[in-house]
Structure 1
């Protein structure tokens, strides 16, 4: 049985209420290969592209971790979507999400990667009212 190292996940499964970019898009250093005098930038093991990091705020109030870092593999720095008037942070979505679990002491942690960062799609989810939910249950 072949168990993948990284598990594919859809954006809506990981961030059912969306997420916001907080901070900047930062290039990730390869800490094992870098020296104080010469930084070496991390590369994706599968594609060879540079690795960039984006800190996001999960909009789900029940999320275990409110902020997390998503690594994006790209040959050039990903460009964030344009800010939206009236919002303090930039809403973003990710394509090609994968999650890799790893052990961090006594806790299981997750490394989140994406192939692409983009502006959210504008399709709205249907609004469910308590009356509609009761009818669906019948």
Structure 2
């Protein structure tokens, strides 16, 4: 049995309550190849595309780590979704998520990668909740 280096995970499994982008999209340096006067940008070992980093805030109040960095592989800088009025941070979702565990001293840490970053989709659960609420309001108006 071959154990993969990175494990695929669906966005909803990793961020069941969603996540927000905090900060900017940053290009990741290859620290081994860079010199003080000449940065070398990191490339994904599998695709050869550049690696970009996005810091996100996990909306799950029980999350072990409230913020984490998601690395996105892309030939060009990923464009974040447009800010939403009234929100301090930008809600985002990721496609093609993988998690790679690694040992950090006595603790197991995780490297999170994604193929793409995009605006959130309306979830079926949110749509159902809105529909149910609308039905309750309609029932109240009829009474």
Superposed displacement of residue 122, structure 1: 1.7
Residue equivalent to 2:70: 70
Residue equivalent to 1:5: 5
**Partner SS state of residue 13, structure 2:** helix
Structure 2 length as normaliser, TM-score? 0.87
Residue equivalent to 1:26: 26
Alignment of 1:119-138 (within 5 A): 119-125=119-125, 126-127=128-129
Residue equivalent to 2:103: 103
Superposed displacement of residue 123, structure 1: 2.8
Superposed displacement of residue 50, structure 1: 0.2
**Partner SS state of residue 13, structure 1:** helix
**Aligned partners of 1:37 and 1:118: how far apart in 2?**
34
RMSD (Å) for aligned C-alpha atoms: 0.7
Superposed displacement of residue 121, structure 1: 0.2
Query: Which runs of 5 or more structure 1 residues have no equivalent in the other structure?
Result: 128-138
Q: Any runs of at least 4 consecutive aligned residues in structure 1 with deviations exceeding 4 A, and if so which? A: none
**Aligned partners of 1:29 and 1:86: how far apart in 2?**
34
CA deviation map 1:100-119 (0-9, x unaligned): 00000000000000000000
Residue equivalent to 2:138: none
Counting matched residue pairs gives: 127
More strand, by proportion: 1
Structure 1 length as normaliser, TM-score? 0.90
**Partner SS state of residue 12, structure 1:** helix
Matched, 1:118 2:115: no
Larger radius of gyration: 2
Query: Which runs of 5 or more structure 2 residues have no equivalent in the other structure?
Result: 130-143
